[in-house]
Structure 1
Amino acid sequence: MACLLFRIVSFATLILTVFSAIEAAENDQEFVPRRQQGIPGPPLSPADAISKMTVPSGFSVEAVAAEPDIVNPVAMTFDEKGRIWVTESFEYPRLSPGPGRDRIKVLEDTDQDGAIDKVTIFAEGLNIPSGIAVGYGGVWVANAPDILFLQDTDGDLKADKTEVIVTGFGRTDTHELPNSLTWGPDGYLYGLNGVFNHSHVKHRGQDFVFTCALFRIDPRTHDFELFSEGTSNPWGIAFDPNGEAFVSACVIDHLWHLTESGYYRRQGGPYPPHTWELGSIVNHKHQMAAYCGIEYFDSDAYPAEYRDCLYMGNIHGGCVNVDVLQRDGSTYFAKPRPDFLTANDVWHMPVDQKTGPDGCLYVLDWYDRYHCYQDARARPGDVDRLKGRLYRVRYENTPRAQLFDLNQETDDQLIARLASPNRFFRDQAQRVLSERASSAAIPKLESVVLDESAAQKTRLHALWALIGARQLSEEFSLKLLSHANPQLRNWAVRYQGTVASDQAEIAQKIRELAHDESPDVRLQVAILAPQVDYLPTVPTLLEVLHHSPGDKLIPHIVWQNLHPQLEKETPQYLALMQQSPYAQSEAALSLLPRAAGRILGTRSLSVEHVATLVKLLTAQKGQESQLAACLQRIAAQTQSRELTGQRLAQLKSELAESLSDVMAAGNKHPGYYHAANLAIAWNDSKAMQIVPQVFTSTSEPADRRVAALDALLAAGHPQAITLVTNYFETSGKDQAEVGRVIQTLGKSDSDVIATLLLERLEALSSENRPKAIEVLLQRPAWTHLLLSQIENGKLAKDILSINQLQRLVSTSNANVAQQIASIYGTIKTGRDPSRTFIVAQMRRLVTSEQGNPHRGIEVYNKLCGQCHKLHGKGQEVGPEITVNGRGNLEQLLSNVFDPSLVIGKDYQAVTVLTIEGRVLSGLLVEDSPSRVVLKLQGGKLETIARDDVDAMKTSDTSLMPEGIEKQLAPEEILDLFAYLTLTKPPADPAAELISGAGTIDPNSIVLPSTAHNLLVDAKISTNIPQLDAGKRGEARDPIFNPKTGKFVRNSQWHEIGVASRADLGVLSEEQAVTWTATWDQPVNVNFLTLSGTYPNQPQPDTAWAVEAKIAGNWQTLERGQGGWYNSGRFVWGWPGAVSVPIESLRVKVFSVDEKTPVRSIHFRGEEGFSWFAGNLLPETSVVRQ
C-alpha cells in the first residue's frame, strides 16, 4: 500500500503507548524517517493539522472523524445511506494468516453537522483488512488470503455471517495485499494485488497464479477472473465517465489505464511467454513515488476547474496530486495539475479518497510519522498506534448531506438520481438498481439510455444499471450495437463477454464492428473475439488491427489475444496474411516478427509455417524492415539452440533460397546481416564470408559486431576462436563493446577462450573484469582453470564473491567443489550474518568524510550500473534505484553491503545448469515450455532452449553480490556514497542529501535519556588486576547510565587503566589485556560507544580489537592500532540498524608486533558519552544539534 506502514497494537500496549509517546517526544524532534527530507516534529492534533494544510482559494478542510473514533484506518467506502465504512488494522506487518485484532467500523453523522457522532463496530477478528465494499446484501472485505462476504442477518449492524468467496491471495508482502475493492460500471467487484505478493487462487476448477493484477468478482455468481496484469504496487481504482479503469501505483510510473486482457510493464519478476507489455499513460512525476488511493472526481460541489480529474493520495508527499485525462486513440494520456491539498505535515498519509454524498472529496489519513514498511518490519511494536483521521475538503458553504436511504426509494426515484450532478448518487443509485434487477425498471432504463436529450453520463449509468443486473436483452443489444453513439456500441459489445448469446444477428453485427470508426468499439471487439464461439478469433483480430493504424493500445491487445491462437491456428493466420487487405496492411504486417517468434515457440513447430511467413514478407515491397526483424528473431532461436537437428535442416531447405536473395541484395537491405547470421547456422558459403567480415570490421557498429560473433560461436565456425583472439590483441577498442564481446564468449566450449580471458583478466577494465569472471564460471573446465590461478597465487582469493562461491558449491561438479574447499574452506550457503558488522564499518567510513559525487558517477557506472538504473543511467537487471532503496542512509547501507537481508522473490538469482554443463545465473525473465530466459549481470539476455536445461535452482540470496567493499578502495566508496546519497544528479542545483547522510562529528554524539545501557546489566570482568580494581579505577567505572544521567560507579575520574609508563611487556593477541561484559541471555545490540578521552588512547603503538560473542563464537566488530577512531571516541552501529544478538562483549589491547610492549592503558568515561551498548529505535536521536 504505497510504502504505507501499518501498525500493530493490542489493548494493553495501547495504554503503554500513551506514556512512551510522551517520553519519546523530545527525541522525535530530530529523527528523519525513510523517504522524508525534513524533521517530522511531534504529531499535531486534528485541528492543528488542518490549520497547516494548503488548499485552493475558496476551499477549506474539515475533520469528519479522528482518534479515538478511528485508529489506523486503511480503507473506506460509503453505502446507500451515506454511512462511512472504515477498516482499521493493528496487525500489519504480520505475515501469517488467521484471526487477528483488526476491525470494521461504521461511522454516522446523525445530526447532519458534518462530523461523525455515532460509531459502530461491525466486525472484529480480521487480519489486515485492506479493502472494503458494500453491496449485494453484505460487506465485501479483502482479508488475505481471502475475499470475505460479511452479512448482518438480524439488522443490528453487526456481522453475524461470514462467507469466503475467494481464497489464495498471498501474504508474502503485506504492503501489497489485495486492496481497493471497488464496484465497476459493469457490476463487477474489482480489486488489486501487488507485484511481490505471490498469489495462487484455485477457484471452480481454474488455477490463477499471479502477482500484480487487477482482478474482478461477479457478485451474483462469485466467478473470479483476472482483468489485466502488470504494474507494480497498485493501490486505488477509479472509473472515468466512460467506464474505463485507472489505477495509481508506486515506484514506477504512477498512473495506468488498464484494459481487459492487457499486460502492463512490471516493476519486477518474469513476464509470461510472448508478452508485449503496455506502458503507463504519464511521462511526468509528482513528489516522490508512493501513491495510495485514486478518485475520479465529478461533482457540482466544486467549481468546474476542479471537476473531471483524478485525485491521488501521495504518501511521501503528504498531499493530494491531480492529473487530468486526455484521449489518445483508444487509450488516454494524463497531464499534471497543481496539487489539490498539501498537508505541510509529514505525518499526513492520505490512504484513500472518495466522493461523499455532499459532493465533497473525503480523504482518509493514516497519520503516522513512518511512511515505509521497512520500519514496520524492523520494529513492528515501536511505532505510533493511536491515530487516524478522516477529512472533508469543502468548497465555500457547500450544503451538508441530509439523511437518505436509497434502498427505500422507488425505481423511479433511483432512475431520477442517475441524472444527479454528484457522481456519488449516480453510482449508488445504479448499484441499487442493478441489485434489485426489477423487471419493471427495464423499459424505463432503456428509455433513458436511448434518450438523446439526456446527458451522456446519465445514459451510461442507466445502461450500466441494466448490465449490472444482467438485463440487457438481445433485442435491445442489437439496437445498441447499431446506435450512433460510440459509447453505447462499445458497452453493448463489452456486455457480450458476460453472457452466452448465440443469436446470429448479434454475431454478424459484432463482426461488422471490427472496422467501426470508434477505436473504443474496435478495442472491445478485439477483447471479445477469443471469448465467444460465434466470432472467428483470428480473422476478427486481424480486421481490428487493420483498421487501427497508429493506435497505441489496440495492437498490444490484439497481440495478447492473438498469440495464444497461433499454437493451433497458425495455418489460418498465415493464409489470411497472404490475402488482401492484410497482405498490404502496415498494422497487420507489423506483428509478423512477433508472430515468427510465437510460431517458432509452438509445441508442434512446423518449419513450413516459418518459411511461409518469411516468403510472405520477402514478396512484399516496402516490408524489408519487418523482414529483417523476422529474420533476427529466427536467427536468435537458432543461436539459442531452440532450433536444432532435423528442424534446422528443414529450415535450411525452406529458406536457403530466400536468404540467398536477401544476401545478394547487399548490405543496404535491412535484412542482409540477419540473413547471414541465420544462414551461417547451416554453413551457407556466402554467410561464412559475410559474418566473419562483419565481426572483424571496426567500421561496423557494436550491435552488429556482437550479433555476428554470437552467430559465429553458435555455429561453431572454424575460425571463430582465432577471430576472437585477434580481436583482443588489437588496441583502441571501445570498452562497452569489449564487455559485450566477453559476455558472448560463453557460447563457445573451447578451453582457448578460458585461457584467453585468464591471460588478460588483470588488464581488463574494472567494468569488464567481473563480466569475464562470470563467463569463466559458466563452464566447469574453465572454472577449474580460474581456481587453479587462485590456488597458485596468480590471482587474489577475493576475486570471487561469496555469492559466486555459494553458487559454485551448490551447482558445480565434485572436483570444482573440492577445489573450492581446498582454497576457501567450508562455504556457508545463505546470507552471511556478519554482514551486519560490515554495514557498521561502512557507516563509519561514509560518515567520517565527504566524497566527490562526480567521481562517484564513475564508480557507479563500473559497479552498480551493471544491474541498476539511477537517474536514467545503467541497466535494468535489479530494481531501478532512483526512487527505490535509498530512502535514508541506513536503508542504502543495508542494500549495498547486506543485499540479502531483505530480498523480494522476483529478485532472487536463478541458476540454470545445461545438459552440456554450462552454468548461468541471473534474474528469471521467461520460463516457458520452449525456453528459459535469464537477464545476466550487465543486462544481457541469455536464452536457453528448454531441451538444453538440465536443472534450475532459485537462490535464497540476492543476485547482487556481497563484499563489494573488497572491490573498492575507501576513497571510491566515499565517492560512490557521495553520489548515491543525493536525491538528484550532482550537477542539479536542487540535489539534496537523503535523510541520515552526510558527515557526523563524533564529538556531537550524546546518549539520550531514553536509552537503556545494557552494560549496566552485564557482568564485567578483566584479566589483569590493574583493570579490575587498580589505582585508575574499577572495571565498571566508565559505564554511563543515560536514564539516570550518572555513571554506574561513582568515582573521581570514571576511568580504568594502568599506571603511567607502566610496561606490561610484549603481549600477543592471544595474551591480550581484556575487558569483558557478559550477559545471562543474549542481548540485541545495534549501537555501541567506547570513550578513551584522548585521541591517543589506546596508545599509538598499541593494537586493539572490539569483539562480540555470537552463538558461542567470538567475532570482531572492529580492530585497529593506536587511538580509537573518531578523535578518541569509538562508535559502532547506529539507532535503527539491524541488531546483533550478543552473549558477551570484549575489548582487547595487545602488541602490534613481537617487539613493542603494551604501555600505559588509559580509558576515561565522559558524561553523556561513555561505555555503552544498546538497542536503539530508529527515531532515537544521538546527535546534538
Structure 2
Amino acid sequence: MNTSGSTNFFALLLAGTVLFSCTNQGPADKDIPFDSLSNEEKRLPENALKGITVHEELVATLFASEPMITNPTNIDIDHRGRVWVCEAFNYRPAITGNETRPAGDRIVILEDTNGDGKADKSTVFYQDPELNAPLGIWVMGNQAIVSQSPYVWLLTDTDGDDVADKKEILFQGIDGEQHDHGMHAFVFGPDGKFYFNFGNSGGQIKDRNGEIIKDQSGNPITTAHYKEGLVFRSNPDFSEMEVLGQNFRNNYEVAVDSYGTMWQSDNDDDGNQGVRINFVMEYGNYGYRDEMTGAGWRANRTNKEKEIPLQHWHLNDPGVVPNLLQTGAGSPTGMTIYEGELLPEVFHGQMIHTDAGPNVVRAYPVQKDGAGYRAEIVNLMVGDKDQWFRPSDVCVAPDGSLMVADWYDPGVGGHQVGDLNRGRIFRLAPPKSPYKTPRFDFSSIEGAAKALENPNLSVRYQAWKKLSAAGADAEGVLAKMYLSHENPRIQARALWLLAKTPGIGPQYIEQALKHENPDLRIVGLRAARQTKRDLEPILTKLAADADPHVRREAAIALRNQHFPTAPKVWASLAELHDGQDRWYLEALGIGADGQWDRFYAAWLDKTEDPLADASTRDIVWRSRTGQAIPQLARLASEESVPLERRLRYFRAFDFNPDAAKKSRALIDMLEGPSVKQESTENQNEVKKLVLTHMDPAFLTSSPTAQAALTTVLDETYGTESYLEMVQRFERRDENPRLLAMALEQSDNSLGRNAASTLLRQNGAGMIRQVFTGSDDKKKLNLLLALRSIGSRESIALIEAVTFDSSLPLSVRREAASAIGGSYSGEDRVLALLKEGRFPENLLPSAVTGVSRAWRKSVRAEANAYLDTGADEANSLPPLNDLLAQSGNTENGMNVFRTNCAVCHQVGDMGMDFGPKLTEIGSKLSKEAQYLSILHPDAGISFGYEGYVIEMKDGSTLGGIIASQTETDIDLKLPGGNSMAIKTADILKMSQMESSMMPSGLEKAMSTEELVDLVEYLMSLKRKS
C-alpha cells in the first residue's frame, strides 16, 4: 500500500477540534493496558482496540479479524449490510520475498448472521491465481467491479450462491500491475454514473477489446494527452468516458456527494510532508508535474513556493487548482462521504478518510469559502499507541454506521508487508447502536424511493436502478421528495433522477436552476450539461448569479462551448472575480481553455483598465493568449512594485503559447527604459528573469540581451543560477570559469555540476591540462568533482590519471578510488580488477572506492580481490530480541549522520537523495524500521526507484529520476548531487529491481549502534 508523505506548516491542524477519550472501549478498560502487553499480546485480535483512541462520542467494535480475513486493501458494504473485502496476501512477493497463496487472492463476503455486531460467516466470492492484490471493489447486487491493474473486472454471481461464476474484462492495459499507484475503486454517483481514478502509474486505459479509450473530446487517454493520476466518469454501461481531473500523484479513491461534487486525497513523494485533500473541479490540473514541461516539483522555477509541501504541487503556477487542505506526512487511502444521521452532526455530509501512514481515520468538515472551501480536521480513530493500525478504507453501512478496514502491519508504503496473516474490520457507531440492517423493498417505486434516502451507496444503486427504469411513473414520489424533503442532499438525489427522465427532465432542470438553494441550482446546471441541453440561455443567466459557487460551475460549463455569446458570458463572469478567490480564477481558466483568444478579447472590450487592481491583474496572469503579453510585460516591469510580487508575472510567460511575441516583449523590457529605472539591487535580477523566460533562439537578435547575459553571468558566477544560464544558452566561452568553479567547489554539488557541464561543452582538454600540470591540490580537487559524474568521458579521464606512473602515488590512489564513484564507474572497477590492471599499491584504493556501492554484488566481488571477508554476515540477534532492546537516541543520531545522511535527510541534516525521514517515527513502527534497514528491497518508495541509463556514448549512469520532460532528465545521484541529461543522448533506460539503499548496511555497525539508530528514527515523529 504505497501511498506516501507532511509539514510543521500544517501541524496545528492535526490537533483537531474535538476531545478524545480512551474510556469508550467497554470491558477492555479492565484489562492490561496496551503498553504493558508483550509484543505478541499486542497483536492479538482481542487486544485490537487497546492501542487505538476513538472519538469520545463513538464506540469502536471489532467486526472481523484474522484468520477470517487478512491484508484488506479495500472494502464495500452491500444492501444487506455485508462487508466485501479485497485481500492482498500476494502483495509484491517479488520485492518483499514473502510467501504467496498459490490459489490467488480473495474477495470475501463477511456477514453477521446472529445480530451481535460481529461477522460469523465468511464466504469466498472469488479467488483466482490471476487475482493479485486488488485495490478496489464496488458491489452492486450480485455483481462486483474489482480494480487490479492492468485490469478492471466485472464479477457476477449468476446463480445466487454468493460465488462469482462469471468474470468479464471491463478495462485493461492500465500500467502499474501489482502497484499501488494504478487503478483504484469505482463508486456510484448520484447522477447514475460511475466515478473512478488511477494514480500516476496508470498511464493509459483500454477497453475490453484492447483499444485505447478516447475521452469526451476524442483524445486517446494516454500520457500523450494527460499527466499523472487521473479521475474518470462513465455511464453505467461504461460508455462516454470522461477525464475529470489530472496531474495527481496517487489519488487513491474518489468520493462523490449527492450534489455530484468530487473529493479525494493525494499523497506526496514520500517524506515531503505534503499529503493533500482536494475538491476536484472538473477538468482541473492539480499540479504534481509542471503543466508545460512535465518537470518534477524539485526543478528550479521562478516564483517557487517557499515551503516544500507547497512546492510539491506547483501552487504558485497559473493553471493549478488550489488544495483544500494539506495534512502533512501520510499514506492516504480510502475515502467516503458520510450522508447519514447516526453519527454525530459534525460528520454529517463530510468526508471520512483513512490515512494508513499516521494510523488515523479522519473527517474533514468543510465550509464554503468564496467559490471554494476551507476545511478542518476531526479525528475518529487514532492508533496513537498501536502503530500497526493501518486503516486502508472506510465505508458507510445501511444503518449509518461506519466500517473501517485495517491492513494491520508494522509498515505501510514502499510495497512493504511485514505480516501476511493479519487484518481487521472495525465498526464505528455511537454507544448503544447495535448493527441492524434495515429491510428494503426495491420492487416498488415507493420502496425504492425510501431506499434512495439511505446513506449506503449499494442501497442507493439498487434504488436508482428501479426508479430510473420506472421513468415517468416515478415522477410523483420523486417530485414530492425533491420539493419537500427537509434534507437538501436527498432532494438532490431525487432531482438527478427527475432531470434524467425522458419527457419531464427539462422542466425539473428549469425549476432547479431557479431554486433558492445554490447547491440545487448547481445540480440543475450539472444535469443540464449531462443531458446535453442548450447551455447558452442557462449560462447567460447564471453568469449573474449571486452565489460564487454557482458562477464557478457556470465558468467550468463554458469549456468547449462555442455558441456565439460564449465570450461575452465568460467576460461577465470574469468581471465578478474579486482578485482574492483562486478557486474562481481557476474555474475561469478551465472554462476558457481552447478559446482564450475569443474570451480574452471579449473581456478586454468590457474592461476599462486591465491592470487596475488585483482582480484584473489575476485575469492577465491566468490567461493563455498572446493578446495578454503587453499587459503581462507591463506587470512584470512595474518597478514601483517590489520584485518579489512581480515574480508571478515572469513565471506566467512560461505558460503563454505565443513564443515569438513573449520573447520579443521580454527583449523590449531590456532594451526599453524599465530595467534602467529599477533599483541597482534589482537590475541584474530582472535581467536574469528576462533571460530565464526568453527563448534562447532570440538571444542573437538582441545585442542588449547578449550584454545582459554577460552581466548576469558575471554577477552569478559560482552559483546554481550561473550554471543554469550557461546550460540554457550553451556558452562554451564560459568553460574556463566552469573549470575554476569545479576546482573551487569540488566538495559540493555546484562544483560537480560545473565539471559535468564543462565536459558536455567539450572541455575535456582543459581538464587534461590540470592533470598534466604541477599543482597536485588541483588534481585532487578535480578528481573529487569528477568522481560521481559517471559519463564515459569522465571515467576515462580518471582512469588515465590512475595509470599515469609519472604522477604522485597520492594522486593516483585518489584517482583509483574515484573510478568507482558512479554506477558506470563501479562496473569499470570490476572490469579492471578482472583484468588485473591495478598494481598492488592501488588495489586497496580501487576496492575502497566501491565499498559503499548500493549493489551488494559489486561490493562482494570487489572485496574478493582483497580477500578481507569484509562483506561476510555479522551476527545479529533475532528481530524479537532487537525489538526488546532500548537504544540511545543521541548516539543513534551520530550513527545516522555517519551511515545514512549521505542519502537521507532529517530536517536540514543529510543529503536529499532518498525519502526524507524527518517524521519517519510517525509512519513506521519499530518493527518496520528494522525491516527497512535489514531488507531495503522490500520497501522501495514510489518515486525513489533507481534507474540504469545507458548513454549513446557508451557510458552507464545510475540514480533516481527527480524530474523528466520530453527533452531533459534530472538524475539524482547518491550523495545528493544531480546531473542534467538530454533524452536525445540516451540509448536505453531501465528500472533497477533492487533498492538503491545498500543492502547489508547493518554490517557496517555493531548491534548496539543498530539499536541506537532505530531508537533515533523512532524519535522522529510529527510535532503536534
TM-score by length of 2: 0.70
Give the one of 138, 155, 160 matched to 1:150. Answer: 155
| Equivalent in 702, 721, 744 of residue 707 of structure 1 | 721
Give distance in 2, aligned partners of 1:441 and 1:760. Answer: 95
Kindly indicate whether the alpha-carbon contact (under 8 Å) linking 1:923 and 1:934 is maintained by their aligned counterparts in 2. yes
Structure 2 counterpart of 1:492: 524
Deviation at residue 404 of structure 1 after TM alignment:
0.8
Q: Which residue of 1 aligns with 2:963?
A: 925
Pick from 754, 774, 785 the counterpart of residue 767 of structure 2: 754
Could you tell me which runs of 5 or more consecutive residues in structure 2 were left unpaired when the two chains were aligned: 5-34, 215-219, 297-313, 805-810, 864-869
Equivalent position to 2:278, from 221, 243, 257: 257
**Alignment CA distance shift 1:920-1:653 (3 Å):** farther
Residue of structure 1 equivalent to 2:174: 169
Residue 133 of structure 1 and its aligned partner are, at CA, apart by 1.9
Q: 1:688 to 1:72 in 2, by over 3 A?
A: closer
**Matched residue of 1:357: which SS?**
coil
Q: Does 2:420 match 1:397?
A: no
Deviations 1:303-330 (A, max 9, x none): 4355555443454665534443344444
**2:1016 aligned residue (982, 996, 1011):** 982
Structure 2 residue aligned with 1:246: 263
Call closer, same or farther: CA 1:147–1:674 in 2, change over 3 Å: closer
Partner of 1:1104: none
Using CA pairs below 8 Å that are at least 6 residues apart, which structure has the higher relative contact order? 2
| 1:799 corresponds to 2:832 | no
Q: Distance in 1 between matches of 2:426 and 2:87?
A: 16
Per the alignment, residue 9 of structure 2 pairs with: none
Q: Does the residue aligned with 1:407 lie in a helix, a strand or coil? A: coil
Q: Confirm or deny: 8 A CA contact 1:95 1:174 kept in the other structure.
A: no
Q: Distance in 1 between matches of 2:617 and 2:827?
A: 46
The one-letter amino acid of 2:84's match is W
Task: Give the alignment of 1:207-218 within 5 angstroms.
Answer: 207-209=220-222, 212-218=229-235
Alpha carbons of structure 1 residues 98 and 70: separation in structure 2 relative to 1, 3 Å: closer
Residue 191 (1) aligns with residue 196 (2): yes
The residue aligned with 1:1098 is none
Mapping of residues 843-882 of structure 1, within 5 Å: 852=891, 863-864=902-903, 869-871=905-907, 878-882=914-918
1:322-721 superposed matches below 5 A = 322-340=363-381, 342=383, 348-367=389-408, 376=417, 384-385=420-421, 388-398=423-433, 400-401=435-436, 403-408=438-443, 410-416=444-450, 427=460, 431-432=464-465, 435-436=468-469, 438-442=471-475, 444-446=477-479, 448-451=481-484, 454-466=486-498, 473-501=505-533, 503=534, 506-511=535-540, 513-514=542-543, 516-534=545-563, 547-548=576-577, 549-556=579-586, 565=594, 572=598, 575=601, 579-581=605-607, 583-584=610-611, 586=614, 589-590=617-618, 656-661=667-672, 662-666=674-678, 667=680, 668=682, 671-675=686-690, 681-682=699-700, 684-697=702-715, 706-708=720-722, 710-711=724-725, 715=729, 720-721=734-735
Of 255-264 and 822-831, deviating more is 822-831
CA contact (8 A) 2:232 2:242 kept: yes
Name 1:297's counterpart in structure 2. 338
CA distance in 1, matches of 2:781, 2:543: 52
What is the letter of the counterpart of residue 487 of structure 2?
Answer: A
Counterpart Cα distance in 2 of 1:591 and 1:969? 60
What letter corresponds to residue 711 of structure 1 in structure 2? M
Alignment check: 8 A CA contact 1:913 1:920 kept: no
Counterpart position of 2:325: 282
Q: Is the 8 A contact 2:107 2:126 kept in 1?
A: yes
Relative to structure 2, which stretch is displaced further, 234-243 or 910-919? 910-919
Deviations 1:908-944 (A, max 9, x none): 437486999999986263434xx33435458888877
Alignment length (residue pairs): 904
Structure 1 spans left out of the alignment, 5+ residues:
5-35, 600-607, 992-1185
Residues in 2 aligned to 1:415 and 1:972: alpha-carbon distance in whole angstroms: 69
In the alignment, the residues of structure 2 paired with residue 588 and residue 918 of structure 1 have an alpha-carbon distance, to the nearest angstrom, of 51
CA deviation profile, 1:761-789 (whole Å, cap 9, x unmatched): 996999998665456x56x6565433322
Contact 1:665 1:672 in 2 (8 A): no
SS in 2 for 1:983: helix
Is the alpha carbon distance of 1:299 and 1:684 closer, same or farther for their aligned partners in structure 2, counting shifts above 3 Å? closer
Correspondence for 2:800: 788
> Identity over the aligned pairs, expressed in percent?
17
Q: 1:322 to 1:136 in 2, by over 3 A?
A: closer
Partner SS, residue 179 of structure 1:
coil
Which structure has the bigger radius of gyration? 1
Distance 2:285 2:614 in 1: 23
Query: Which residue does 1:833 correspond to in 2?
Result: 857
Residue 82 of structure 1 corresponds to 81
Distance 1:397 1:258 in 2: 35
Alpha-carbon distance in structure 1 between the residues aligned to 2:145 and 2:393 = 17
- Deviation at residue 235 of structure 1 after TM alignment: 4.0
What is the deviation of 1:495? 3.2
- The amino acid of 1:442's aligned partner reads E
Q: Could you tell me whether the CA contact under 8 Å between 1:40 and 1:346 is conserved in 2?
A: no
- TM-score (structure 1 length as normaliser): 0.62
Q: CA deviation at 1:201?
A: 3.0
For residues 57 and 687 of structure 1, do their structure 2 counterparts lie closer, same or farther at Cα, with a shift above 3 Å needed?
closer
Alpha-carbon distance in 2 for matches of 1:174, 1:413? 42
What does the per-residue CA deviation read over 1:283-306, in whole Å, with 9 as the maximum and x for residues that have no partner? 444xx7344433433443234355
Instruction: Provide the rounded CA distance (Å) in 2 between the counterparts of 1:430 and 1:44.
Output: 41
Instruction: Give, in whole Å, the separation in 2 of the partners of 1:636 and 1:182.
Output: 35
Offset at residue 478 of structure 1 (A): 3.5
Cα deviations by residue, 1:372-411 (Å, 9 ceiling, x for unpaired): 67564x9xxxx554x5543323423225535512413x33
| Distance change >3 Å, CA 45–CA 612, structure 1 → 2 | closer
- The C-alpha deviation readout for 1:194-239, integer Å capped at 9, x for no partner, is 4456664355643434664433442134444443345444544444
Shift of the 736–134 alpha-carbon distance from structure 1 to 2, 3 Å rule, reads: closer
Give the root-mean-square deviation of aligned CA atoms. Answer: 6.0
Residues 805-820 of structure 1 correspond to what in structure 2 (within 5 A)?
805=824
Answer whether contact 2:48 2:62 (CA < 8 A) is retained.
no
CA contact under 8 A between 1:876 and 1:939: conserved in structure 2? yes
Supply the distance in 1 between the matched residues of 2:103 and 2:1003 (Cα, whole angstroms): 50
C-alpha distance in structure 2 between counterparts of 1:905 and 1:88, whole Å: 25
> Deviation of residue 617 (structure 1)?
5.3
* Whole-angstrom CA distance in 1 between matches of 2:351 and 2:410: 26
Question: CA offsets per residue over residues 164-211 of structure 1, 9 Å max, x none?
Answer: 221223453344553333223333223343445666435564343466
| CA distance in 1: counterparts of 2:871 and 2:786, whole angstroms | 31
Matches within 5 A, 1:1034-1183: none
Q: Distance in 1 between matches of 2:654 and 2:247?
A: 30
Name the SS of the counterpart of 1:682 in structure 2: helix
Structure 1 residues 876 and 736: CA distance shift in structure 2, 3 A: closer
The letter of the residue matching 1:189 is F
* 1:982 aligned counterpart, secondary structure: helix
Amino acid at match of 2:547: S
**Is contact 1:358–1:398 with CA below 8 Å preserved after alignment?**
no
1:227 aligns with 2:240: no
